[in-house]
A and B are shown apart, each in its own frame.
Chain A
């Protein structure tokens, strides 16, 4: 199974300040079709997860441009350029290159 390791596990951020979350996979997520099957989700309190970023760096429809994804191979980063109060919740990375699908442990983002 591919292990997804997120750091940090919690983050307290002042509104307007940047935030960054790392996700490392135990195997490369690059497939022969040239795509890298790495996704970022945000689960706000009491809600299901919502897709933020797909295939490393593509923002999903309606996702604000303060969210960005980067990385390659086994090393990925989600950045929020200026955190807003509505960004609180738990952020998960997920890989879908191989079954079983696996998620990172989650990073809880709180506002200071």
Chain B
């Protein structure tokens, strides 16, 4: 069964860093197009970043230079390193195997 389990969210002060993890099972992360999508409280879906099976990475302008997507093939896990966090980064972060599977999400709250 395909599963994605996201973790690593929490309360962090502005300017701080967090690393989100997304452990996958039932398929191989490195063979798929994986992405992170976020949803601010009460708002819609916003694409954040993606990594292609070939390793190419792309980012939304709002996070470029601050966030880094990566994967660990040995752990079959996707990551999102988030630096220089801002209040507007507060959201539930979902990992997804494009286009069909989504994890349950992990909440990131950026506040002093």
Contact = CB atoms under 8 A, between A and B. Distances in A.
| Residue with the greatest number of chain B CB neighbours at <10 A, chosen from A48, A96, A100, A105 | A48
A94 B45 CA distance: 9
Nearest to B104: A48
Given A99-B58, A100-B60, A100-B61, A51 B99 contact: yes
Interface residues of A, number: 22
Contacts of A105: 44
Contacts of B60: 100
6 contacts: A48-B103, A48-B105, A94-B99, A96-B98, A101-B35, A102-B47
Contacts, number: 45
B79 interface: no
| The 3 residue pairs across chains A and B that have the minimum distance between CB atoms | A101-B47, A48-B102, A103-B45
Most chain-B CB neighbours within 10 Å: which of A90, A96, A101? A101
Interface of B: 35, 37, 44-47, 50, 58, 60-61, 94, 98-105
A4 B28 CA distance: 31
A92 interface: yes
Contact of A101 (B50, B101, B102, B104): B50
A18 B100 CA distance: 25
Nearest to B50: A101
Contacts of B45: 41, 43, 49, 92, 94, 103, 106
